[in-house]
Amino acid sequence: MWEADVPVCIVHSSFRETNRLQLSRRRMYQAAIPIWRREDYESYFEDTMKAGHYENDKESVDIMIRSSQDVIKDLLSYGVDFARDEKGALAFTREGAHSDKRILFHEDITGQEITSKLWAAVQKLPNVTILEYTTMLDIVEQDNVCCGAVIRKADGSIETVQADETVWACGGIGGLYRHSTNFRHLTGDALALSLIHNVKLKDINYVQIHPTTFYSEDEEERSFLISESVRGEGAKLYDKKGERFVNELLPRDLLTEAIYEQMEKDHTNHVWEDLRTIPEEELKTHFPNIVEHCRKMGYDVTKECIPVVPAQHYFMGGVWVDHESHTSMEHLYAVGETACNGVHGRNRLASNSLLESLVFAKRAAKKMMRNEECNLADPDAVIAKVDFTEYEDEAALQKRYKDAVRAAIRETDRKMHTVKTA
């Protein structure tokens, strides 16, 4: 994807003294990835639109679906090991709100399998410099043209990085919520910087709650996701009396609403999920990490139900981008959960996140390779003017960013509610 003579710097960061790359290797990314098969286009398109309450950008949806085969070919070329059937062909499963089996997977850690193989490939590139334990504090811009970033390095020193192109890949906003499947340090830094630098945002109150995560009383613990695929393979949900109360394959937002209603009715902090409906051998083969996590938490999923609760899972809104992931600021891009190209609408269809991220990141890379150099007359002079004093108090800076994002989401939600009730 990157030409060998083009220098690339990857800043991998968090406000906490942790390394997200190392974390990603240790934690279990249970996401899977759909693929378009020619006879399946119409139903896949409709499933995505329906889940998004038909607020999706249709062109974005079309691009994502039609690009899926090429993305899967890319992943296979990097050694990603998707599950195979007895004949050696790619195996498919079904997830909630999907009308057919179109989901590729690797056990129940597909995301980890993909990121580890891509990470290994990146490390081999001679033109890539990786700065770990390094935090992006701000971007550097003038006249709506981005020319780099302000960073805090592992030793605490603050520096600037000049760049012809800058890409935000800062994740979502899970750190703002009590229950979240995201890492606690993902608090919407790119949104805060967008507010500061007048970069266009879109649908920032569109927050997806995953219906089923393992219930824990530890408020600092990252919520462990009980994969959509579990319900796709037949897992059931029960109330406190052990009675089924909902169709488990409803879209996530509708299922979440039903679970919250049942919790309120039962006066409980969770409901129960029954994985015993899945054959034991299939359960242990397809979902080994879920089985193991539940075992560590004191539950044998082959013999008993587990407590589950909805948790913030995905951010459909974010920094507005076009179909090549370019923001409203020149030479600034956003990809992944940070970006909002409209593909998900109001509610993301299960597993579309990985596919959308890969498709539109690839389009961004191709667009950047066609771009001219930064069109500021003297980017060096802009970089030189940066005052580091406002970044010295890390805790205060983090609080300012988090407060700004929370306030913006609340205000956007208030305005939308006012319009609906007017």
Catalytic residues: 252
CB 34 within 8 A of CB 114: no
Check residue 16 and report its DSSP letter: S
Distance in angstroms (rounded) separating the CA atoms of residues 307 and 87: 37
H helices present in 78-204, as ranges: 110-123, 189-197
Name the E strands within 188-284. 201-202, 207-214, 224-225, 236-238, 271-274
Distance in angstroms (rounded) separating the CA atoms of residues 247 and 234: 11
User: What is the token pair recorded at 102?
Assistant: 């179109």
User: What is the token pair recorded at 346?
Assistant: 């109001």
CB 202 within 8 A of CB 342: yes
CB 319 within 8 A of CB 334: yes
**126, exposed or middle or buried, with CB in 10 Å at 0-12, 13-18, 19+?**
exposed
Which H or E run contains 70? helix 58-77
User: What is the token pair recorded at 283?
Assistant: 């359960």
Instruction: State the virtual CA torsion across 336, 341, 347, 348 in degrees, nearest 10.
Output: -40
CB 109 within 8 A of CB 29: yes
**In b/e form, how buried is each residue of 130-140, taking b as 16+ CB within 10 angstroms?**
ebebbbbbbbb
Distance in angstroms (rounded) separating the CA atoms of residues 181 and 14: 17
Check residue 90 and report its DSSP letter: B
From the DSSP assignment, how many helices (H) and strands (E) are in the chain? 12, 17
CB 272 within 8 A of CB 92: no
CB 245 within 8 A of CB 260: no
